[in-house]
Amino acid sequence: MSEQAIRERQIIQYVLEKAGVNIPFIIKEAFLGYKYRKKNKILYEDDASVATELIRMYYALNPGEIEFDNLRKSFIKKYVKNESEIEGVNDLDIHGKQEIAGLQDMYEYLFSDNLKENFNIYTLCDLNKKLFSYAPFPEYAGEYRTHDAYLPGTGVPLSEWRYIFREIRELSPIIDHLLDRAQLVKELCDSDELLKFLDACVELEVALIKIHPFPDGNGRTVRAFINKLLSDAGLPAIYIKSNERTEYHNAMNDALINEDYTHIKSFYRYKVCDSIIELDINDRLKKEKDEKPKQKKKTDDLK
């Protein structure tokens, strides 16, 4: 984080604390309000105003360095389960079990030390190989498709197979720019820059989905790739729940067909808030709950 950004944050925190504002309490209560709205199905406005302001507040006021434990076992388990469900992968089927095992390996590989210096456009191929590493003929995974493909029932025009290599290569400078920018965005911890970075990653996801480079596993591979970029910039990894599949697909199709990114960008802002709750806010609540018996014991001991 730059000295100016640190100074500005310190000033904000000082003023709020002098005014008697409990910053951790404000952050927690704001996200609890978000959870209430979501539970009562009054969230997901098209303009993402609620999610946007929550993200701004969280990164502006959250004291200390923000680090998300992307390899938390419970998060990986939910990630794998929901990613499999939205792609219709059945864990009762032998091939489904193989893909689920591959998805878990892919996610753990994505956040391993092996990729710290070697993450680039060609990582997509490595991720697709991991996804199908337990499937029959795994040696063919990670290879670009050699036939035209279609998204059933959508009318989305995917890239012709003969242009895949060229179109992927054309995205390489964009990805390199995002990779260079990610560390700076993380250090600055500026909410405006984080939101711009998030939107740029969503645009990249749409471009990669439209190319649809692989015969199978494109959605899971591309979303994992985008998660790595988000994590590098200090944003949490996200996963899409099975009951959000229709909303996600509608928003993605709107971007793919009409080049209208409004809904898919809004959707991702809400998903960032969901992951902040799962990876941070819920932990705060658990710690508070665990502290209450200790505080009560201390009080009883003083009587």
Give yes or no for a contact between 233 and 185, defined as CB atoms under 8 angstroms apart: yes
**What is the arithmetic mean of pLDDT over 171-181?**
95
Task: Encode 20-29: b = buried (16+ Cβ within 10 Å), e = exposed.
Answer: eeebeeebbe
What is the predicted pLDDT for the residue at 36? Answer: 73
Task: Encode 255-268: b = buried (16+ Cβ within 10 Å), e = exposed.
Answer: bbeeeebebbbbbb
**What is the arithmetic mean of pLDDT over 206-227?**
96
Question: Quick check: pTM over 0.85?
Answer: yes
What is the predicted pLDDT for the residue at 161? Answer: 96
What is the predicted pLDDT for the residue at 7? Answer: 65
Give yes or no for a contact between 205 and 151, defined as CB atoms under 8 angstroms apart: no
d(CA 242, CA 155): 22
**What is the arithmetic mean of pLDDT over 187-207?**
93
| Domains (range + CATH), the chain | 3-302 (1.10.3290.10)
Least confident interval from 122-131, 162-171, 294-303: 294-303
Give yes or no for a contact between 232 and 180, defined as CB atoms under 8 angstroms apart: no
Burial, 4: exposed, middle or buried (Cβ in 10 Å; 0-12, 13-18, 19+)? exposed
Question: pLDDT class for 207, splitting at 50, 70, 90?
Answer: very high
Mean pLDDT of the chain: 85
* Count of Cβ atoms closer than 10 Å to residue 2 Cβ: 12
What is the predicted pLDDT for the residue at 95? Answer: 86
d(CA 273, CA 31): 8
What is the predicted pLDDT for the residue at 285? Answer: 85
Query: Which residues, in sequence order, are CB contacts of 170 under 8 Å at separation 6+?
Result: none
